[in-house]
Structure 1
């Protein structure tokens, strides 16, 4: 398939997108372990799926081709040897170290003949009630005996934006911030190496999951075919931005500048796209709490090492200069009211998914921000999100664009 990936903007008409429909991994969330799994609450799976299906159908109604991570991963493991290879890496990264335990767990997974069911089980993790493993004297098998899982679930998978990012025709296969999320990128590795969609072309990796510093897709915004924005955040290191900049400038010819937004390391901000998204050529959502102290660095493509400068202009002026605009409009989360802004940003009011210039998908639960978007002339497609939002992510977080029309 020619041009399987094409993403040169945040707002070009969306043609193809990848999602993950929430699965049984959410039912393996337990109150005592929420923090380590990066959740604040436990979504109700049945309702979360209804909300997610509404989201997917909203996309389809606009003529967008919706793919699912779980289907692509299953289709990528099209031979027994690939399935075995994937499982070996998966168990390594799930820290299954006891020899006898590992053998019994491996046999459990390989007994699942349907590859899609196999993938679903790897995502759900493995609860101890599912498999009775014979006791032995191996310390690795005996320690943490009261812990409820042999393998932790991956409840963050429905935020499909984070584990990799499509930049131009290339992929950033990310190194995730939290240990609990690092297995998520394994699915992307096998999809881009072995899925029939990509087998006839060599996918260029701008970043690889085995690099030693973290970066996540929620921090990467493709503002134009020439300009990226990347957040310095709780989830993305400065050194990661320097690494990916060199690779982008070397292999994606159109990109000339990266704007690094230092948004701080607070969980409530988490990623750049939780406080700042692009909704039209000259319109952006923004959380007012970041504006006053935001520092932006520009990284320019040059012979040899990229040139890095701390910008001193206002954010409006910086965006006008790099995007060649006469003016920009900021649509402030909560309408600029700090109380409403804090509440609606927590519920992902700033996290919009543009499906065309000036046309976005938003949660219906952020009325003040949505009213301001409409007043600015933006067309809204509202989706319910009372359960989905419990994982702290919105429509952009839940979507991975593969193909957008060029502007």
Structure 2
């Protein structure tokens, strides 16, 4: 059930039919990323905002609406396109949906409460080091406009920046994750994401949509006396981001230790999940701390109960790597140190080790999801150098399942698209699919085993795929 007053949270897999999710469509802040600050703000490049919005991300919203909230879009596509697509919540023409839920809408709604507004303004001003007069000005700003300011960093007009934008909010997965009926809020590794986490925390704790689950919100604590630790190394911080957390079955969660999630953060998450009886087992996957693989969902995601897409160079066993033809002139030796994988159990059983990602994912398919057919792997770039690395960089492994077997990915990853076709999947460009859904020649109920290809010239510059750009709130249970 979904409405503006109540939400029945439930996510127990990566592939159950998606019923509701939280997104943040591109705001003006993405158009303010400057080259000198791009890496500080966790971007590899600057993007062209209008192209990203109208020609790319808008297709994502339209497709989500057809699959999750069809009555709000069916028969209206031409009118929506004539108005340059979907609007942001500060526009009167905004197409509000409580299944494809815009984070900025929820933020503006909680800011209508004067007490919450005062507290959140104070919190934002504290972390952004604002002066007293600016804080007073923000306190008197209307909720819809204030939500826009908190996200874009701009006040009065688009060119008056009062603090940095938070362009990474487009990657809503990283602010938290739903595990069953619990909400695990992240603890970001980078300062650039502190404000978006603060906004998310206020939404989850204060919006009536989540009122029934306030007792189920889990927050990662800092380690005791963390303020006495010397240095500023990643491994010494307690950090966790949603891209490193996957709910693969009702009682099993994978947590990655990566560039963005520390061993300390993973350990605190395990304690919270076990203490609150959220899951029975947690598998830790430790991957190289490299920008190439910032989260585990950049190296693998699930397509069907027995099908996964993944980066071959980090997935196979050491022996399999050693048996390949000698191609040492391009092989980074660090890649030959396969991920460390260890599984922990709530009942205190002896932890279990896995030799490779393939072994782990096969175990999930066969044991957790009761698949009776052999596990299949589709590799980034067809597992061929240099396409495997190039296409992983542009998120060939970062796919979002709308339902089992129907996933979204970028159209630029040609070799990975071919690998899907060779594995028996259909592929279709999103514009063509939308036209078919609108004229009735296709139905969301009949689409099976399909990779939907999304335009990606600007979106891919932001270094995140559709798994990153989604925070599932409700998925059907996988039978």
For the aligned pair, the TM-score class normalised by the smaller chain equals 0.7 to 0.9
Any idea what the Cα deviations from partners look like across 1:231-269, whole Å, max 9, x if unmatched? 11000011111111121122244x221111111110011
Asked if 1:54 is matched to 2:41, the reply is: no
Q: Is the 8 A contact 1:168 1:252 kept in 2?
A: no
In the other structure, the counterpart of 1:381 is: 452
Q: Shift of the alpha carbon at 1:393?
A: 0.3
Q: Shift of the alpha carbon at 1:223?
A: 0.9
Asked if 1:284 is matched to 2:308, the reply is: yes
Aligned-partner Cα distance in 1 for 2:178–2:23:
14
In the other structure, the counterpart of 2:20 is: 16
Aligned-partner Cα distance in 2 for 1:210–1:341:
37
**Quick one: structure 1 residues 72 and 208, their matched pair in 2 at CA, closer, same or farther if it must change by over 3 Å?**
farther
**Which of 267, 285, 290 is matched with 2:291 structurally?**
267
Provide TM-score, normalisation by structure 2.
Answer: 0.75
Where do 1:79-118 residues align within 5 Å? 79-96=113-130, 102-113=131-142, 115-118=143-146
Any idea what the Cα deviations from partners look like across 1:333-368, whole Å, max 9, x if unmatched? 001112111111111111100111111011111121
Aligned-partner Cα distance in 1 for 2:413–2:68:
26
Q: Is the 8 A contact 2:315 2:356 kept in 1?
A: no
Q: Shift of the alpha carbon at 1:156?
A: 0.7
Q: Shift of the alpha carbon at 1:2?
A: 5.8
Provide TM-score, normalisation by structure 1.
Answer: 0.88
Secondary structure of residue in 2 paired with 1:231: strand
Secondary structure of residue in 2 paired with 1:380: strand
**Which of 367, 378, 382 is matched with 1:335 structurally?**
382
Q: Shift of the alpha carbon at 1:125?
A: 1.4
Q: Is the 8 A contact 1:159 1:398 kept in 2?
A: yes
Any idea what the Cα deviations from partners look like across 1:188-223, whole Å, max 9, x if unmatched? 111111112122442412334767610000011111
Aligned-partner Cα distance in 1 for 2:401–2:476:
12
Any idea what the Cα deviations from partners look like across 1:31-69, whole Å, max 9, x if unmatched? 111111111111111111111111011111123521001
Aligned-partner Cα distance in 2 for 1:374–1:203:
45
**Which of 133, 147, 163 is matched with 2:175 structurally?**
163
Give the count of matched residue pairs: 381
Aligned-partner Cα distance in 1 for 2:175–2:222:
13
**Which of 37, 42, 46 is matched with 2:46 structurally?**
42
Aligned-partner Cα distance in 1 for 2:300–2:115:
43
Q: Shift of the alpha carbon at 1:85?
A: 0.8
Asked if 1:6 is matched to 2:10, the reply is: yes
Any idea what the Cα deviations from partners look like across 1:92-150, whole Å, max 9, x if unmatched? 12233xxxxx122213323432x122111111114899899xxxxxxxxxxxxxxxx64
Asked if 1:295 is matched to 2:324, the reply is: no
**Quick one: structure 1 residues 3 and 121, their matched pair in 2 at CA, closer, same or farther if it must change by over 3 Å?**
closer
Long gaps (5+) in structure 1 = 97-101, 133-148
Q: Is the 8 A contact 2:182 2:213 kept in 1?
A: no
Asked if 1:321 is matched to 2:363, the reply is: yes
- Return 169-178 or 119-128, whichever deviates more: 119-128
RMSD: 2.2
Asked if 1:188 is matched to 2:200, the reply is: yes
**Which of 236, 246, 252 is matched with 2:271 structurally?**
246
Aligned-partner Cα distance in 2 for 1:264–1:158:
25
Any idea what the Cα deviations from partners look like across 1:302-341, whole Å, max 9, x if unmatched? 25xx754433x34333333344146321110001112111
Aligned-partner Cα distance in 2 for 1:316–1:34:
35
In the other structure, the counterpart of 2:407 is: 360
Q: Is the 8 A contact 1:353 1:360 kept in 2?
A: yes
In the other structure, the counterpart of 1:237 is: 262
In the other structure, the counterpart of 1:139 is: none
Aligned-partner Cα distance in 2 for 1:406–1:156:
30
Long gaps (5+) in structure 2 = 70-98, 224-236, 317-337, 426-448
In the other structure, the counterpart of 1:406 is: 477
Q: Is the 8 A contact 1:128 1:150 kept in 2?
A: no
